[in-house]
Amino acid sequence: METRNIMIVGVGGQGTLLTSRILGGITIKAGYDVKLSEVHGMAQRGGSVVTFVRYGDKVNEPIVEEGQADVLIAFERLEALRYAHFLKKDGVLVVNDQRIDPMPVVIGAAKYPENIIEDLEKKYKVLKVDAMAEALKLGNPKTFNVIVLGMAARHMDFKKEDWLEVIENTVPPKTVEINKKAFEAGYALGA
Amino acid sequence: MSEKKLMLGNEAIARGAWEAGVKVSAAYPGTPSTEISENIVKYEDVYCEWSPNEKVAMEVAIGASMAGVRSLVSMKMVGVNVASDPLYTVSYIGVSGGLVLVAADDPGMYSSQNEQDSRAVARAAHVPVLEPSDSQEAKEFTKFAFDMSEKYDTPVILRTTTRLAHSQGLVELEDRCEPIDIPYEKNIKKNVMMPANAIARHPAVVAREQQMSDDGAEFPINRIEMRDKKIGVITSGIPYQYVREALPEASVLKLGCVNPLPKQMIIDFAKKVDKLYIVEELDPIIEEQVKSWGIECTGKEILTVLGEYSTNMLKKAILGIDEKLETPAQVPVRPPILCPGCPHRSTYFTLKKLGIHAAGDIGCYTLGAVAPLSVLETTVCMGSSISTLHGMEKAKGKEYVRDWVAVIGDSTFLHTGVNSLMNMFYNQATGTVLILDNSTTGMTGHQDHAATGKTLMGEEVPAIDLYKLCHDGIGIENTYVVDAFDTKELEKLIKQETAREAVSVIIVQAPCALLKSNKPKPAYRIDPEKCKRCGMCMKPGCPAITKAEDGTISINATMCNGCGLCAGLCKFGALNQ
């Protein structure tokens, strides 16, 4: 199989590393070669963070190059816009419709762009979700990223049962049930 | 089939060291090397520690090697500078048990203050350098490094980069070798580096380097992949992966050992290809040597010494293929910031209010340089804040530093700051030092240190008392402890001590907001009835507080850690838990 390229972008502290661990787990379960590249250290303190996941028969480089992403999972609108040019022309953007102001916006030195999702919809296939609202419905706001992942899962070729099994083996034992529920909710929304 | 596991480069290095039978591991945390120690500690039968700094860690590993076991020391590249004193000399001494130093470079400076190339240090110290290209190689090369160390009687550097250290790939797991335990033998001529002995050892270092260069073609980690002969590439590490993607047809000499270079192997490879390229991130270390042998090749003429490489970059530089890419959107930057509830914000806001300049240091609190706080005005390296302030005073006089302080974290203070404080005391400085004590090594992800009372292996131990160290130990009479969120007392102390013509230390305490042991307090909310939208609560630049287009100010309940700094600033009592 040709290598598939997935990206996860967001704001440091939003839980991108957990999502990439689940993604890594599912690709191995399916028997693929896989490489993941993450950001640790300073950028994790509220900065813009990106994780690359590549899987296929044989993967060389660990990063996804511009114009090469099949699926871009964005946990925040501005970050979706920042990395949208990494998408292939027929790539899919799954975006959490949430706004987190970066410091230049907070202090009035820059403006948060308007109509981000509407503009991106003109160029790419976009699936949006207010994952925070969905997560609150489930009773745990921290599961919002697994909801977004559930939506994105519709655009990757793995079985739902396998996703759920990987989630069970990846998240902390106490949060297995809620995370599985969150994934199911996202999976339903992604249809 | 053996078990395969998805591992970070750093996890794989830890696994490799364990499989190689390592007995002792020492390190000081530093991105991108930290996870090596955090993973070694999970294995049985390895002593591992956080040392106060990289020089100490290096010497611990040297001692363990001298005692006859395999030892590992890991650090980020700027840590190699701190450890370079013992490194240059242990190169002469050699080893008993294998000694491997992991030096983690950071091309692109994701979390570093410079972009130095550790291979240059290794060349100067005449120490071999191995460079893996993925997690599987990270494990294999670590094992090879221990064998090589013992075979050639030399410390070996395993060089990684951020992209390798923080990428995950599949790794085949193997069993642990029986750890070696060589009986200690007194050998003053080899182990005591005073002039007469060092003069005798230097030729051995020269001969060893020549031998490794001669043997290089036989190392399994150096390999030639002959494909089309029109283009030949010499490369190593992560850039090898970009070469394979960008130039799948090209012949490649993949170097696993980048110092010393296998000269004859390179000469032979160069003869076989029409056009030779050298692809290496950062400095032209391989290229300059190859060129010095009269071999025609292309490298930094078309490739940069800055940052990370990529497949697209190589396609453009070597093949002239310019992929028609979408232009990135022009969007506001999102720099890292102090977290909601961070005690440093309270300290910096107080300094800003008082119009005080801060000489800064390395840690999360370096972010005090970022707007809107912008009070931190210098940062050089670990431990530098205190000595920088001291230098300013000696240059400009006592009066000049009356509106300055040095700020340094608890872990950084114990790393090298304490030496600088001794200097201030000894040389009669009058400056004020703020130790921002958040009970952890924050930036690298919460590692313990000598003042937290817990070791890397999880043992509860007596903690160094920073107050006693400064007050009773060094003898600084004006030493104080204050709660970071008690802004009234903090302000009073800073005013009082900066005015004083004597050295003072203010230990500003409050645990890191992200520490698991630190249960966040309930989030604050803004009462829209009482809020006058004056924006005072936004002055400290907390990312949990935002202002909508219509001027409404709100607090993001999932981000707020309930520190209350904002509430203390509201004159209208609009912020409540």
Domain boundaries, chain B: 4-218, 223-319, 343-509, 520-577
What is the predicted pLDDT for the residue at B60?
Answer: 98
- Contacts of B549-554 with C-beta under 8 Å, sequence gap 24+, read B552/B528, B553/B526, B554/B526
Strand partners, A5: A54
Supply the ipTM of this predicted assembly: 0.94
Closest chain A residue by Cα to residue B373 = A107
**Chain mean position to CA A71:** 8
Does A106 contact B538 at a Cβ distance shorter than 8 Å? yes
Residue pair A44/A13 in contact (Cβ under 8 Å)? The answer is yes
Q: Sheet of B257-259: strands edge to edge?
A: B47-50, B24-27, B71-76, B99-105, B156-161, B129-130, B257-259
435-474 of B, contacting A, C-beta below 8 A: 443-445
Characterize the bridge pairing of strands B47-50 and B71-76: unpaired
Q: What is the pTM of this model?
A: 0.96
CA-based nearest residue in chain A for residue B76: A41
CATH topology for B223-319 is: Rossmann fold (3.40.50)
The string of pLDDT tens digits covering residues A90-126 is 999 999 999 999 999 988 899 999 999 999 999 999 9
Q: In this structure, are residues A183 and A149 in contact, taking their beta carbons and an 8 Å threshold?
A: yes
Radius of gyration, CA atoms only, chain B: 27
B126-148 per-position pLDDT tens digit: 999 999 999 999 999 999 999 99
Question: B1 pLDDT exceeds 60?
Answer: no
Distance in angstroms (rounded) separating the CA atoms of residues B268 and B299: 19
- Residue-averaged pLDDT of chain B: 96
d(Cα B310, Cα B239) in Å, to the nearest integer?
Answer: 8
CB atoms within 10 A of CB B488: 10
Residue B516 pLDDT class (50, 70, 90 cuts): confident
> Which has more confidence, B520 or A111?
A111
Identical fold, B4-218 and B343-509 = yes
Structure tokens that stand for B340 in this block:
């909601």
- Tell if the CB–CB gap between B367 and A33 is shorter than 8 Å: no
B238 CB near a chain A CB, below 8 Å? Answer: yes
Query: Which carries the bigger pLDDT value, residue B460 or residue A15?
Result: B460
- How far, in Å, CA of B156 to CA of B102, rounded? 8
Query: In sequence order, which ranges of chain A are alpha helices (DSSP H)?
Result: 16-29, 77-83, 103-106, 116-121, 131-138, 144-153, 160-170, 176-189
Residue B440, pLDDT score: 95
CB B245 within 8 A of CB B279: no
Give CA B99 to chain center in angstroms. Answer: 20
- Rounded to the nearest angstrom, the minimum Cα separation between B274 and chain A is 25
Give A21-38 pLDDT, tens digit per residue: 999 999 999 999 999 998
Confidence of residue A77 (pLDDT cuts 50, 70, 90): very high
Nearest to A14 by CA among A46, A56, A55: A46
Which residue type, as a one-letter code, is found at position B560? C
Taking a C-beta distance cutoff of 8 angstroms, is the pair B69, B125 a contact?
A: no
Q: Do A40 and B34 lie within an 8 Å CB cutoff?
A: yes
- Chain B nearest-CA distance from A104, in A, is 7
Domain B4-218: assigned CATH number: 3.40.50.970
Q: Above 60 in pLDDT, residue B432? A: yes
Is residue A62 over pLDDT 60? yes
In CATH, which of 3.40.50.970, 3.60.21.10, 3.90.1150.10, 3.50.50.60 is domain B343-509?
3.40.50.970
Domains and CATH numbers, chain A: 4-189 (3.40.920.10)
Domain covering B520-577 in this structure, CATH number: 3.30.70.20
- Structure confidence by residue, pLDDT tens digits, B447-498: 999 999 999 999 999 999 999 999 999 999 999 999 999 999 999 999 999 9
pLDDT in tens, B207-245: 999 999 999 999 999 999 999 999 999 999 999 999 999
Residues within 8 A of B (CB atoms), A 34-93 only: 34-48, 59-63, 65-67, 78-79, 81-82, 84-85
Bridge partners (DSSP) of residue B254 are B223, B235
CA A107, CA B183: separation in Å to the nearest integer? 64
